[in-house]
C-alpha cells in the first residue's frame, strides 16, 4: 500500500488539529452578550461540564447572572424552600440591592439549596427505630440516596496534605467500615501529624467522566501526637501490624521483620457507628439532645434504670454475632466522671455466656495484597 510523504501527513495532521480547535476559537471570539445568551439555554449539568474546558469557559459558566436565573427558577419550582436560609438570604440581598455579588455567589447558593432540600426530604425516610438496636432502620439506604461519601486528609509534619477517597466501604448491622490505602502515597506513620475525616455530600448531576460537585463537612480531627501515648498494638499477621489510635480508628503498618523501624503505612481504617451518622456526615444538627437519666422512683439512691444495650461483632465483611440486653440498671456508686457501668452479662454465671461460631479475625486488603489478622474484630455498642 502506498503511503503519503511525511510532509503531506504532517500538513494533514496540522490541518486536523486546527479544524479541531476552530469551534472553541470561534466561540471565544463571540461578544460576551451573545455567549451568555447561548449559555443561558444550558442546564446545570451542561454548565458545570463546560466550566472544565478552559479558563475562559470556566469564567463564563460561573457567571452570576446565569446562576441567579437558574436558582430563582428552581426556587419557584420548590415552593417549600421558603423556610430555607437560602431564600432568606435572597430576600436580604434584594433589600440591600447588591448589584455586584461575589464571584460564584449564585452558583454556590444554588448547590447549597439543592443539598439542603434533598437532605431534608430524604432524612424523613430514615424510618422507624429498630427495636433491637434503637437506631433508624434505613441509615444505609438514606446515606446512599444522599450520595454521601467520606474523604480522609492526611497531614505530615512538613505541612503537606493529601486527600484520599476510600479504597473500600462496607456496611454492617450498626456501623460502616472505611479503609484508605494510598498506593505508597500515604506518609510514614511517624511523619503523620494529623488525620481529618470529612463527610462529602455529592449533588446528582448527569456528568459522565466528571466528579460531581459536593460539599465537605469536617467530622473528626485527630492529632497524632496526642494519641501516641494511648496507641495500642491489637494484632498482627505476616504482613501488617494493627495500631489502635482510638476506638474506631486503626492504622495498618507494614511489618519489617529484620528491622525495629516499622513506620510505612499500609492502610487507615475507620469504623463509624450509625448513631446520627447522616447528621454527622452532612453537618445537619450534629449535636444530640441531652436526655435526663431516669432515676428509681422508689429509692433515688438505688441508681439509674431502664437502659438497653445492643452488642454487635463484625469483621468488616459480615456480622459475627449480635445480642440485645434490656432492663439494665446502674447503682449510684457505679457512676464516675459522668460515666456509668452497665453489667449485661455476669462473669460468674456460665449460662449467660455464648460461644462464637467460627474463628474471630479481621480481614484487610490493600492494593493487590490482602491478609487476615486473627483474634481481632470490630465491636459496636449501641
Domain boundaries, given as residue ranges, for the chain: 27-87+103-116, 124-288+360-381
In the chain, at which residue ranges do the beta strands (DSSP E only) sit? 148-156, 161-164, 168-171, 175-180, 192-202, 214-223, 232-236, 240-246, 249-254, 265-273, 304-314, 319-330, 335-336, 339-340, 361-366, 369-374, 378-381
Q: What is the pLDDT of residue 223?
A: 93
Neighbours of 320 (CB within 10 A): 19
Rounded-to-integer distance, Cα 191 and Cα 183, Å = 17
Give the CA distances from residue 99 to residues 26, 93, 94, in Å, rounded to whole numbers and listed in that order: 31, 9, 9
Give per-10-residue mean pLDDT for the chain (382 aa).
Answer: 44 42 62 82 82 82 83 71 49 51 78 73 78 87 89 91 92 93 82 93 77 84 89 92 93 75 86 91 62 59 78 87 86 80 84 78 87 91 90
Residue whose C-alpha cell reads 482510638 in the numeric block: 246
Q: Are 334 and 344 in contact (CB under 8 A)?
A: no
27-87+103-116, CATH topology level = Monooxygenase (1.20.1280)
Whole-number pLDDT of residue 16 = 36
Q: Alpha carbon 123 to chain centroid distance?
A: 16
Compute the distance between CA of residue 242 and CA of residue 234 in angstroms, rounded to an integer.
6
CA proximity to 51, closest of 107, 101, 100, 129 = 107
Matching residue, cell 449533588: 203
Instruction: For 84, list phi and psi in degrees, rounded to 5.
Output: -75, 150
The pTM of the full predicted model, rounded to 2 decimals, is: 0.75
Amino acid at each position: 500500500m502506498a503511503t503519503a510523504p511525511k510532509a503531506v501527513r504532517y500538513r494533514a495532521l496540522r490541518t486536523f488539529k486546527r479544524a479541531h480547535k476552530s469551534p472553541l476559537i470561534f466561540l471565544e471570539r463571540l461578544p460576551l452578550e451573545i455567549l451568555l445568551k447561548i449559555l443561558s439555554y444550558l442546564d446545570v449539568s451542561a454548565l458545570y461540564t463546560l466550566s472544565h474546558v478552559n479558563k475562559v469557559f470556566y469564567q463564563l459558566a460561573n457567571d452570576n447572572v446565569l446562576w441567579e436565573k437558574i436558582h430563582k427558577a428552581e426556587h419557584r419550582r420548590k415552593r417549600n424552600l421558603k423556610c430555607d436560609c437560602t431564600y432568606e438570604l435572597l430576600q436580604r440581598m434584594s433589600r440591600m440591592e447588591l448589584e455586584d455579588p461575589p464571584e460564584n455567589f449564585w452558583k454556590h447558593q444554588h448547590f447549597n439549596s439543592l443539598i439542603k432540600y434533598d437532605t431534608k426530604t430524604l432524612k424523613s425516610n430514615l424510618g422507624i427505630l429498630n427495636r433491637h438496636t434503637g437506631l433508624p432502620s434505613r441509615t444505609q439506604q438514606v446515606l446512599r440516596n444522599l450520595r454521601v461519601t467520606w474523604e480522609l486528609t492526611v497531614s505530615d509534619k512538613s505541612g503537606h496534605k493529601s486527600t484520599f477517597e476510600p479504597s473500600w466501604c462496607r456496611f454492617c448491622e450498626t456501623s460502616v467500615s472505611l479503609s484508605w490505602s494510598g498506593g505508597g502515597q500515604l506518609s510514614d506513620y511517624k511523619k503523620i501529624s494529623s488525620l481529618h475525616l470529612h463527610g462529602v455530600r455529592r449533588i446528582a448531576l448527569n456528568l459522565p467522566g466528571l466528579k460531581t460537585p459536593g460539599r465537605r463537612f469536617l467530622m473528626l480531627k485527630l492529632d497524632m501526637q496526642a494519641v501516641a501515648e494511648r496507641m495500642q498494638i491489637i494484632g498482627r499477621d505476616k504482613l501488617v501490624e494493627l495500631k489502635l489510635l482510638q476506638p474506631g480508628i486503626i492504622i495498618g503498618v507494614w511489618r519489617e521483620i529484620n528491622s525495629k523501624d516499622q513506620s510505612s503505612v499500609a492502610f487507615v481504617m475507620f469504623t463509624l457507628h450509625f448513631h446520627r451518622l447522616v447528621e454527622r456526615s452532612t453537618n445537619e444538627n450534629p449535636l444530640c439532645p441531652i436526655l435526663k437519666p431516669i432515676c428509681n422512683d422508689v429509692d433515688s439512691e438505688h441508681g439509674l434504670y431502664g437502659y438497653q444495650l445492643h452488642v454487635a461483632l463484625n469483621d468488616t465483611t459480615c456480622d459475627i454475632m449480635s445480642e440485645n440486653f434490656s432492663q439494665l440498671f446502674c447503682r449510684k456508686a457505679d457512676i464516675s466522671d459522668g460515666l456509668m457501668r452497665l453489667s449485661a452479662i455476669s462473669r460468674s454465671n456460665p449460662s449467660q455466656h455464648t460461644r462464637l461460631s467460627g474463628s474471630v479475625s479481621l480481614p484487610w486488603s490493600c492494593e493487590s495484597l490482602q491478609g487476615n489478622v486473627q483474634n481481632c474484630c470490630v465491636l459496636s455498642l449501641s
